[in-house]
Structure 1
Amino acid sequence: MSDVSSARGAGLVTDRERFRAAAERLDATDPLAGVRGRFVLDDAADGVVYLDGNSLGALPANVPARLAEVVGEEWGRLRIRSWEERGWWSAPERVGERIAPLIGAAPGQVVVADSTSVNVFKAVVAAIRIAQAGPEGPGPEGPGAVGAESFPGGSVPLRDELLVDAATFPSDGYMAESAARMTGCRIRAVEAAELPAEFGPRTAAALVNHVDYRTGRLHDLPGTTAAAHRAGVPVVWDLCHSAGALPVDLDRHQVDFAVGCTYKYLNGGPGAPAFLYVRRDLQPRFDSPLPGWTSHADPFGMAPSYTPAGGSTRGRVGTPDILSLLALEAALDVWDGVTLEAVRAKSLALTDFFSECVAAYAPEGRVENITPEAHPERGSQVALRCPDAVKVMPRLMERGVIGDLRRPDVLRFGFTPLYTGFADAERAAYILAEVLTA
């Protein structure tokens, strides 16, 4: 018997047999099981369970060959000709169009450029400027620009408050503070669930994380956005932990601005560029605080004054990161034939199953599951509060279970339905129990 079995007795053996049999059945009937082969993963014999796709997604198998082609042919032989001949120049918009269906956006509203933090800054400042100008106020194209009707709250004397969800990712908070200083706003932190009741005539904008990065709690995007619009407030949503993990439906819910990274559930690779969504009718009023040459209406005219381009191109700043951008473009091929509904169904089943295994295997009182049990409130991760998490996670990784730590006491496990199986979830829970018992 293992240490865990010795500590818990024969009942645990029965639990293990039951859960392993259930995992085998679930994996055998998984409609996404075949997608796993599109990734570079450890062999089953290696015993490695990768549950950190919510920090860095696994490598899609087609990316190395594509990068070799970009480096050897497009950069190595064609060199500068590739900007036109191989479509480098249009890649930010082209890759944006590949991401758009994964976040519920129609064409022409998503651009891939810069980092999440930079895009948060652009979107928050632009949102505040729109709100402060009022429905009849100017955008960069002048008074009466399209999009004014989106905020029925009317013209107000002063909108000087930026609401930020109290559990926001730290970098989002840093960018929000800088945006507030630039626009003459003060920041007020509010629990995400309480935001609808807090929007008022002085609220300029709100910044909300769709999924809490610590707990995996999924916040109410439709309800919060609708409440904000009733108060004349634009909202910026951070989709880093939801894009590629669950349906988002930005257009359906009339979201104003959204940003997100592409190296988590979208598997774009380390440092892959982020995306920026600006709803179509707001684009003429999108006044970016970072007007760069590639977002100019005539980028090669080198004019001394700035005239913004139209459409999603307005979200660009400088020269695109071509190697990372084209790696991401290739990585998105793994989504061919995959529906987000299937991804969401498997995500919920995986996180349910893992949580049940942990509850059955782990020594009583050693961990507390702080991820919401209710499906509508859960992202695609399970977070366990553990007093000695800083010691437990390194031991787990030594045993081949790759999760991550959120200090001071949270063990975080991300489930990527495209390549995580139910046997993976069972094995991870069992090894966790062994480590907790040791």
Structure 2
Amino acid sequence: MREGLDEAERRDIQDPLSECIHEFFTGGLVHLNGNSLGPPRAGLLDELGRVVDGQWAPRQVQGWFADGWLDLPRTVGDAIGELLGARPGQTVVAGETTSTTLFNAVTAACRLREDRPVLLIEAGAFPTDLYVARSVARLLGRRLLVEPTAGFDEALRTRGSQIAAAIAAPVDFRTGELREIGPTTALCRAAGAVSVWDLSHAAGVLPTDVDDNRVDLAVGCGYKYLGGGPGAPAYLYAAERLHSAVDLPLSGWHGHAAPFEMSPDFVPAKGIDRARTGTPPLLGLVALHHALGPLTRAGIEALSRRSRSLSDFFLACVGERSPGLLARLVSPRDASRRGGHLALSVPDAAKVEHELAERGLLLDSRPPDLIRIAFAPLYVSHVQVWHAARELVHVLEGSR
């Protein structure tokens, strides 16, 4: 087994991204749950203190103007857009939750196709996506079509002329299996349906190339692989070609063309600023911006390569110790068909999660029997993955 540890050390030495692990406060734990919430980047308290003590305290409300607070939704949005493959000016952190931002995007998508009666979504979508889709369908009098993964693209081919908008995710939140953005978006475009992508489980770990793939609208949270912290604000991507036509239902004063005129009538701002709503959540934006620094420096291609290397090495280590355990893998074995996490079907998954946490290994479980292991590229090392495989086998089989 020493050979596996030697190989882990060799891989970490050869990959310059291994140095980034020192930029995060891990508390000595192995964080394999970055698809839910990762550790904070070191220096966050200093960054927040700089804003609170150096800007907010002395300048109070003038900080919005003197310290550039009003620009942060676009500044942070463009940083996220860099990871999404979006040109500047198309991504904004509007100051809302992921659920609210998704509602805004889906409603706007349906408004772009007023004459079409159907809203399409995958049956295996994240629960919030399903809840929002049902709410929008009721609100707008549309019919919700819920298709299994295998039938989603076929519905676009055969019923596309009826579909106003299609909601999809590039990564299955349970299994990590990929749906290619390009082909599905192309089907939406051919059918005249608006594509709405939930990138929450992809951003920061997987190339999405939203511009090149001609995505219409996309949303995502700031607290998974992006590392913005608990409840970090969400982002909205809207392709530039839609800016003059998109009609977002949440019309907040910061989305107004002249917000400080306090006009009683809403006139949408030009460009992506029209997606802004209320007063920006300053400290949440500062924390998210701080977290994005090492991600944008590394670049999404390098981040994706490392995540795949970590996940492949994990499976190799598990297979070496317990070949039969790989039969419990419910994710694609091919890393090019997975996102940043994989899943195993095990009895008493929640109990396994707690036992591993007691051993300093953080992952998560999903009912009825899945444990999910995420490979965030900047604060997980190959050496940690080697140890994680050993601990997982020990807990599941009771022997090393």
TM (normalized to structure 2)?
A: 0.95
1:19 aligns with 2:4: yes
1:71 aligns with 2:52: yes
Aligned to 1:217: 177
CA contact (8 A) 2:295 2:303 kept: no
- What is the DSSP-based 3-state SS (H/G/I as helix, E as strand, rest coil) of the residue aligned with 1:201? helix
CA contact (8 A) 2:23 2:41 kept: yes
Q: Runs of 5+ in structure 2 lacking a partner?
A: none
CA contact (8 A) 1:362 1:432 kept: no
1:201 aligns with 2:161: yes
- Residue type of the alignment partner of 1:26: R
Alpha-carbon displacement from aligned partner over 1:63-102 (angstroms, at most 9, x marks no partner) = 2111011122222221101010011112111111111111
Q: Runs of 5+ in structure 1 lacking a partner?
A: 1-15, 133-157
1:9-408 → structure 2 map (5 Å cutoff): 16-43=1-28, 48-113=29-94, 114-132=96-114, 158-199=115-156, 200-362=160-322, 364=324, 368-408=328-368
Distance in 2, Cα, partners of 1:274 & 1:360:
40
- What is the DSSP-based 3-state SS (H/G/I as helix, E as strand, rest coil) of the residue aligned with 1:90? helix
User: 191-200 or 97-106: which moved more?
Assistant: 191-200
Alpha-carbon displacement from aligned partner over 1:150-193 (angstroms, at most 9, x marks no partner) = xxxxxxxx411111011111011111111111221111111334
Distance in 1, Cα, partners of 2:55 & 2:327:
51
CA contact (8 A) 1:392 1:436 kept: yes
1:432 aligns with 2:389: no
Cα-Cα RMSD = 1.5
Q: CA deviation at 1:57?
A: 2.1
- What is the DSSP-based 3-state SS (H/G/I as helix, E as strand, rest coil) of the residue aligned with 1:289? coil
Aligned to 1:140: none
Distance in 2, Cα, partners of 1:367 & 1:407:
19
- Residue type of the alignment partner of 1:390: A
CA contact (8 A) 2:48 2:283 kept: yes
CA contact (8 A) 2:311 2:335 kept: no
Deviation >2 Å, runs of 4+: 191-196, 359-367
CA contact (8 A) 2:204 2:295 kept: no
Matched-pair identity in %: 43
Distance in 1, Cα, partners of 2:105 & 2:338:
26
CA contact (8 A) 1:62 1:331 kept: no
Distance in 1, Cα, partners of 2:72 & 2:326:
49
CA contact (8 A) 1:355 1:382 kept: no
CA contact (8 A) 1:19 1:357 kept: yes
TM (normalized to structure 1)?
A: 0.87
Aligned to 1:149: none
Distance in 2, Cα, partners of 1:365 & 1:320:
47
Aligned to 2:374: 414
CA contact (8 A) 1:380 1:414 kept: yes
- What is the DSSP-based 3-state SS (H/G/I as helix, E as strand, rest coil) of the residue aligned with 1:18? helix
Alpha-carbon displacement from aligned partner over 1:121-144 (angstroms, at most 9, x marks no partner) = 111111111122xxxxxxxxxxxx
- What is the DSSP-based 3-state SS (H/G/I as helix, E as strand, rest coil) of the residue aligned with 1:237? strand
Distance in 1, Cα, partners of 2:182 & 2:326:
36
CA contact (8 A) 1:159 1:203 kept: yes
CA contact (8 A) 1:162 1:187 kept: yes
Q: CA deviation at 1:366?
A: 8.9
CA contact (8 A) 1:217 1:378 kept: yes
CA contact (8 A) 2:79 2:296 kept: no
Q: CA deviation at 1:60?
A: 1.1
Q: CA deviation at 1:62?
A: 2.6
- Residue type of the alignment partner of 2:140: T
Distance in 2, Cα, partners of 1:365 & 1:255:
38
- Residue type of the alignment partner of 2:393: A
- Residue type of the alignment partner of 1:287: D
Distance in 1, Cα, partners of 2:277 & 2:82:
24
Q: CA deviation at 1:218?
A: 1.2
Alpha-carbon displacement from aligned partner over 1:260-301 (angstroms, at most 9, x marks no partner) = 111111111111111100000101111011111111112122
- What is the DSSP-based 3-state SS (H/G/I as helix, E as strand, rest coil) of the residue aligned with 2:153? helix
Structure 1 residues 76, 130: closer, same or farther in 2, change over 3 A? same
CA contact (8 A) 1:367 1:386 kept: no
CA contact (8 A) 1:366 1:386 kept: no
Alpha-carbon displacement from aligned partner over 1:382-405 (angstroms, at most 9, x marks no partner) = 211112212111101111110011
